[in-house]
């Protein structure tokens, strides 16, 4: 059965093959070959480890079926991204599920690094988080607040008509209050940078 290409990202190619998702980290021609290979191997290993860690902590993520040097074989959970789902339905209530999964991820001391509606999949009634290529192991409140800041900015730019109801639903369901408080500081800092010192 031929591989069906699903996406071409900055770091990896994504294929569907024989009921699995294949994520192949691509070589970068501008890097020294030895360094390029080491980076791709290290990042593949780190992503597999983080996915397995999250799975043990009851976060809905694709199961790692196999990990080789620069390739991950993952459970196929479909391609119904929250970005597409919101464009069709404007269903802000899904952010209750999103908040639950992001809170579980943060309690497991993992930040996503690219927390956007494109990196969330709705499969049946389950909400999955995907693409942990930029994720990190950290328990810093600041890092978790930056995750939320990115999600909020994504809502404003990609889903503007419903962003406020989405965010309101998220805030009600996300239980790490210290992270929400730190988010206010992160946002103030962002506004200060945009305007510049007075």
Active site residues: 114
| Residues β-bridged to residue 7 | 14
SS3 2: coil
SS3 120: strand
Of all helices (H) and strands (E), which one includes residue 163? helix 163-173
Cα end-to-end span (Å), the chain? 62
Is residue 42 a contact partner of residue 50, using CB atoms and an 8 Å limit? Answer: no
Is residue 162 a contact partner of residue 86, using CB atoms and an 8 Å limit? Answer: yes
* Distant-in-sequence, close-in-space partners of 32: CB < 8 Å, separation ≥ 6: none
């Amino acid at each position: 059965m031929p591989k069906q290409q699903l996406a071409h990202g900055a770091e990896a190619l994504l294929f569907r093959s024989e009921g699995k998702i294949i994520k192949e980290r691509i070589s970068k021609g501008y890097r020294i070959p030895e360094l390029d290979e080491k980076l791709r191997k290290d990042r593949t290993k780190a992503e597999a480890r983080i996915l397995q860690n999250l799975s043990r902590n009851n976060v809905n993520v694709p199961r790692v079926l196999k990990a080789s040097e620069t390739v991950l074989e993952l459970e196929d959970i479909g391609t119904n991204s929250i970005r597409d789902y919101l464009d069709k339905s404007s269903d802000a209530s899904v952010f209750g599920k999103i908040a639950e999964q992001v809170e579980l991820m943060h309690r497991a001391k993992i930040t996503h690094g690219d927390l956007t509606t494109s990196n969330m999949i709705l499969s049946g009634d389950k909400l999955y988080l995907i693409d942990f290529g930029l994720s990190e192991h950290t328990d810093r409140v600041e890092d978790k607040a930056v995750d939320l800041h990115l999600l909020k900015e994504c809502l404003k730019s990609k889903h503007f008509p419903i962003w406020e109801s989405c965010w309101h639903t998220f805030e009600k369901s996300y239980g790490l209050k210290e992270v929400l408080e730190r988010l206010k500081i992160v946002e103030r800092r962002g506004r200060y940078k945009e305007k510049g010192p007075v």
